[in-house]
Copies of this chain bind each other. A is one copy, B any other.
Amino acid sequence: MAEQKATNITWHDHRVSSADRQTLNGHKVAVLWFTGLSAAGKSTVANTVDHKLHARGIHTYILDGDNIRMGLNKNLGFNDADRTENIRRIGEVAKLFSDAGLIALTAFISPFKADRDQVRSLFKNGEFHEIYVNASLETCEKRDPKGLYKKARAGEMKNFTGIDSPYEAPENPELVLDANTRSIDELADDVIAYLASKGLLSA
């Protein structure tokens, strides 16, 4: 858990409130937190859902593992402490986007339960949606689109989730996607159906 270092600071309420920003956008806010193994399909499903939401006029933004690691989190590697800080920062940024009135989609392995729970604790009830993109290690290793599992098995990559670094599957996620048998489009439709059931699709 990150310690609060700066003292002598006070919370400033902004003249434009979070509620004002939601009113301008015309829809509720949410964080759709996709978690799962590398190659499970997190980014692809999240992008497809993002596309469908955008087409409905919903204001969204996607935070993506690879992309965030080239910017905000470029100074973090893959040891346990850096993975925890990686997820902590992304959770805080997702909170800023939610505060700004957007639906934020995040696609990160986010292997540790404690880190995901810490992010969840930043949000009000009903705002954080943990979506487990459930594909078996066997499925992911067979796909291996970037050849990363092969490198990890050969010992050329260290701290690779599922090989020599653990993945702690969600125990009570809001939604589980069966990524072993269903297509990307079917999985995206599963998410859209879930969001509709939660009243999040009116824009």
Taken together as a complex, chains A and B put the C-alpha atoms of A25 and B76 apart, in Å, by: 33
Taken together as a complex, chains A and B put the C-alpha atoms of A82 and B3 apart, in Å, by: 14
Known: A74-B5, A75-B5. A11 touches B67 (CB 8 A): yes
A66 contacts across to B, CB distance below 8 A: 9-12
A2 contacts across to B, CB distance below 8 A: 74-75
A contact residues vs B (CB 8 Å cutoff): 2-6, 8-12, 14-16, 20-21, 24-25, 43, 47-48, 50-51, 54, 57, 59-67, 69-78, 82, 85, 89, 92-93, 95-97, 99-102, 122, 146, 148, 151, 157
Taken together as a complex, chains A and B put the C-alpha atoms of A24 and B102 apart, in Å, by: 13
Taken together as a complex, chains A and B put the C-alpha atoms of A70 and B12 apart, in Å, by: 11
A8 contacts across to B, CB distance below 8 A: 146, 148, 151, 157
Across the interface, name the chain B residue whose C-beta is closest to A85: B75
Contact between B54 and A24 (Cβ–Cβ < 8 Å)?
yes
A6-B78, A10-B66, A24-B57 provided; 10 other pairs, C-beta below 8 A? A4-B70, A8-B148, A8-B157, A9-B65, A15-B51, A16-B50, A16-B51, A21-B54, A21-B61, A61-B96
Known: A15-B51, A50-B16, A102-B100. A6 touches B69 (CB 8 A): yes
Give chain B nearest CB distance to A14 CB in angstroms.
6
Give chain B nearest CB distance to A63 CB in angstroms.
7
Taken together as a complex, chains A and B put the C-alpha atoms of A95 and B9 apart, in Å, by: 25
A25 contacts across to B, CB distance below 8 A: 59
